Chain A
Amino acid sequence: MYSKQVMEHFRHPRNMGQIKDADGIGQVGNPVCGDVMQMFIKVREGRIADIRFQTFGCVAAIATSSMTTELARGKPLEEALKIGRDDVARALKGLPPIKMHCSNLASGALHAAIKDYYKKKGRAA
């Protein structure tokens, strides 16, 4: 059901954990639906210098969180904001149709963290 890439990211999630002094934090999902994702970012010179995640959810939720952090790391914020569900799913070599919403959640958490950073900076996203 899951691709090799999904299983690989599930078994060995990248960038897992928190950033204590994060510049931006994003959270999406809700435990009732079975998925909650948190993204923490550190920003240097307009780029994502560090990124971490924590996820409560299924295999796809964990793998998409992990992949999203990989895609976003080092990217300028404007580019990171363009990472969407299809990018995440493509990078994982596909997701079962019923799990596509997971990749939406993961990129959503990333966008929320970037918007949180802008808000803290006093600038509109």
Chain B
Amino acid sequence: MKTERIYLDNAATTRVDPEAIKAMSPYLGERFGNTSSLHHFGRDADRALSKARESIAKKVKARNHRLVFTSGGTESNNLALKGVAFANRKRGKHIITSSIEHECVLNSCRWLERQGFEVTYLPVDREGFVDLNDLEGAIRKDTVLVSIIHANNEIGTLQPLAEIGRICSEHSVYFHTDACQSFTKTDIGLEKQYIDLLTVNSHKIYGPKGVGGLFIRRGVEIEPLMHGGGHEFGLRSGTVNVPGIVGFARAAEIIRESHIKHMTRLRDMLIEGALGIDDSWLNGPRSERLCNLANFSFRHIEGESLLVHLDLKGIAASTGSACASKSLEPSHVLTAIGLKPEEAQGSIRMSLGRDNTREEMEYTLNALRESVETLRKISPFKGRSV
């Protein structure tokens, strides 16, 4: 068998688009100015920054929001949660989030709890959806912020942003969503979906690492995490990463509807093929799912073994199994959707990119069938349920 190199871990990170590299390059070289400088080098960099900001803002139809550039999704989520919590302490100390957030949201919330804030972690159903009645019921007089991830990074569930946003708006509670996985892959409108704060990032959309952003509705009270020279409207001090931001903007501009259609087709091909394997299932919903992500469980085998088996065949995927993580705990997302720990162990995530092909999906499905069969031969559970 010839060795392939198939990258199916685009939810972890993506390859930087050559167009983005080309756009960044001058700002690493001759156009190196500091946006804060008054001379023409500085003004040139500042113009590039403004242009990038406008370009990214268009993607989410931002009119009443400011985009603050950060170092990435983690920083944006930290800024949203901690910044809003601290600035609004007089109004209340209660925050609502879900049990399937990215670790940077969950761990920010846990830290805020240690500072005296109170956090409600909403459960999700079998497919990973938050119940809107639960959400409304959890809102208290002292609730200041609701933070719910748009597309879950492990199973791809897309939350109904507009419905969640409307509830928050009716109760005058700020609504933040982490859109690291969904930005440019699904329609986001800050007004249409009543979003007050939106986290986006660059390296999941074929831009460089180390850049992200937080859209903040004008009038939202928020404290900075970084204090210094007052960059980014005083909300994120530190010399601005102009090359990264220019690359981020270019990457966002390149994305076309046809890329989404292509990834959706490949994803569906993968789902159909994988579900043809005995004792397998799809985690998360069939529709209302991120266009490039599928998460499967295979009974009787363990995810890390499967991942490494596929890697030996040139396929790069990811897993939520305990054995692959440093903590040895099964994924909190798979546990939250009701998988038993032993079921969560046998899961694998495949996240597509726009450069993947049908042939790669066929190769992957064959490899998957073979690997699952091999590992089941080693497993003591074949032929009976765990």
Footprint of B on A, CB under 8 Å?
Answer: 2, 7, 10-11, 13, 16, 27, 31-38, 54-62, 98
Contacts and interface: CB of A to CB of B under 8 A. Distances in A.
Contacts of B330: 34
Contact of B304 (A7, A16, A59): A59
B322 A34 contact: yes
Interface of B: 300-302, 304-305, 308, 312, 321-324, 326, 328, 330, 340-342, 345, 377-381, 386
B325 to A, nearest CB: 9
Given A36-B380, A56-B381, A98 B301 contact: no
Contacts of A58: 302, 304-305, 321, 323-324
B379 A54 contact: yes
Contact of A57 (B302, B340, B341): B302
Nearest to B386: A31
Contacts of B386: 31, 56
Contact of B345 (A34, A37, A54, A62): A34
B74 to A, nearest CB: 23
A10 B379 CA distance: 13
A32 B341 contact: yes
Contacts of B379: 54-56
Candidate in A55, A58, A98 with the most chain B CB atoms within 10 angstroms: A58
Given A31-B386, A32-B341, A34-B330, A55 B378 contact: yes
A32 B342 contact: yes
Shortest Cβ-Cβ A-B pairs, 4 listed: A58-B323, A31-B342, A54-B380, A58-B304
A54 B378 contact: yes
Given A31-B386, A34-B322, A10 B305 contact: yes
A38 B382 CA distance: 13
A119 B222 CA distance: 69
B312 A11 contact: yes
A55 B386 CA distance: 13
A36 B324 CA distance: 16
Contacts of B326: 98
24 contacts: A2-B308, A16-B377, A16-B378, A27-B380, A31-B381, A32-B340, A32-B341, A33-B322, A34-B321, A34-B323, A34-B342, A55-B379, A56-B300, A56-B378, A56-B379, A56-B380, A56-B386, A57-B305, A58-B302, A58-B305, A59-B305, A61-B323, A62-B305, A98-B326
